[in-house]
Amino acid sequence: METVVIRSLEPLIAELRARGFAVVAPTTRDKVIRMGEIASESELPRGCGDEQEPGRYRLREGDDEMLFGFAASPDSAKRYTQPPSRTLFRMRGESIEEPEAEVPRVALLGVRACDLAALAVQDRVFLGGRHPDPDYRRRREALFLVAVNCAVPGGTCFCVSMGTGPKATAGYDLALTELAGPHRFVAEPGSACGAEILGALPRVPAANADLDAAEEVSRTAAEHMGRRVDTEGIKERVAGAHDSPRWQQVASRCLTCANCTMVCPTCFCTTVEDSTDLTEGAAERIERWDSCFTLGFTEVGGAPVRGSGAARYRQWLTHKFSTWFDQFGTSGCVGCGRCITWCPVGIDVTEELANLP
């Protein structure tokens, strides 16, 4: 099925809901764009833009017609593929019960190119190794992905440097490019399922002028990256910098708060927690997101391997830009800029990379 133009997202939202999907899309909550379930197009943040700089996030008024005039929000798709916490099993007496894996039928509307790239990275982590995670696979396969090509990149974005955006090229069911004057979307199917759904919507074939306008959106976005990284030889350069004095300098600012790893769409680390219910005599084991910035993360024999903040920052940056290639054959960073925006002291990974020898 070829590329088409749709006037409104209302029929798409209705069609997805009719097929049993919860439609999860950007909404404004506490002056931040957050992903939340919507029932209608009117719940999308119309006319809303954002300002993102190191340690800074503000919503501002944008172009009043536009529904997606902002960049990455703190919520990525990770929340739906790898829930922040999940019960692994319960043990009662001599039997183990596994709770039915929660596989929400979610359609994510407004996924950006960097987040699609992050999903492909997560696929390698959880499906590409010796021990594929069956629950991850179920959640991943149940997702319906409606990508939106970025028109207004944020001040901390560098997807162009990482080769992941701003235009979505793979891994979506539908890709939309929002156009103004008149307000409309160029819609392109990326899967059989996407084509089927698109086929059920009111639409007109895309004219050459629409396709050109859509190309122009991505071209302009690519020219407005807030940040850049020189990726030439980056894996070797970072690996060779383990004794750089720079780690000490950044550690003097770093609070080891783990915000960067929590907002990162590819960070996958977890820990487990055990508890017992004394009245019922049942034991429970929970898995939840963890971060290499926590002190206990590497504890062995009563002491952490990475005791200093410098060693923990080095682990994070080295993992993202160097050892991830060794482990998974790809960069661990997709250039979404979240870790820069949401760092409370504004540490900028692109600046740290530029300052390494």
Partner 1 sequence: MTAETRRPPAGRDEPRLVRTGSDMQVRPMTPELYRVRSRRADRVDTVTLQLVPVHGECPPYRPGQFTMLYAPGVGEVPMSISGWARSGGYVHTIRAVGAVSGALCGKRPGDVVGVRGPYGTWWDIPAAAGMDVVVVAGGLGLAPLRPLVRELVRELVRHRSRYGRISVIAGTRTPATLVYGRELARWSGLGVDVQVTVDHPDHAWKGPVGLVTRLLDRIVFEPRRTFAFVCGPETMMRATADDLVARGVAARRVELSLERNMKCGLGWCGHCQLGPLFVCLDGPVLSYERASRLLAVEEL
Ligand X SMILES: Cc1cc2nc3c(=O)[nH]c(=O)nc-3n(C[C@H](O)[C@H](O)[C@H](O)COP(=O)(O)OP(=O)(O)OC[C@H]3O[C@@H](n4cnc5c(N)ncnc54)[C@H](O)[C@@H]3O)c2cc1C
**CB of 158 or CB of 172, closer to ligand SF4:** 158
Q: Which does 349 bind (CB under 5 to 8 A by kind): partner 1, ligand X, ligand SF4, none?
A: ligand SF4
Q: Which stretch binds partner 1 (CB under 8 A): 50-58, 67-75, 250-258, 272-280?
A: 272-280
Q: Which does 44 bind (CB under 5 to 8 A by kind): ligand X, ligand SF4, partner 1, none?
A: none
Tell which residue, 66, 125, 99, 83, has the closest CA to residue 327.
Answer: 125
237 part of the interface to partner 1, by CB under 8 A: no
Q: Which does 14 bind (CB under 5 to 8 A by kind): ligand X, ligand SF4, partner 1, none?
A: none
Half-sphere exposure of 48 (CA within 13 A, CB side): 20
193 part of the interface to partner 1, by CB under 8 A: yes
How many angstroms separate the CA atoms of 31 and 49, rounded? 11
Binding mask 8-47 for ligand SF4 (x = CB under 6 A): ----------------------------------------
Binding mask 249-288 for ligand SF4 (x = CB under 6 A): ------------x-xxxxxxx-------------------
**CB of 26 or CB of 337, closer to ligand SF4:** 337
**CB of 184 or CB of 338, closer to ligand SF4:** 338
Q: In the bound complex, what is the minimum distance in angstroms from residue 322's beta carbon to ligand X?
A: 24
Q: Which does 335 bind (CB under 5 to 8 A by kind): partner 1, ligand SF4, ligand X, none?
A: ligand SF4
Q: What residue ranges bind ligand X (CB under 6 A)?
A: 301-302
Quote the tokens at residue 8.
């409104």
Binding mask 322-351 for ligand SF4 (x = CB under 6 A): -----------xxxxxxx---------x--
Cβ-proximal residues to 30 (8 Å cutoff; 6+ apart), any chain: none
Q: Which stretch binds ligand SF4 (CB under 6 A): 21-29, 54-62, 277-285, 311-319?
A: 311-319
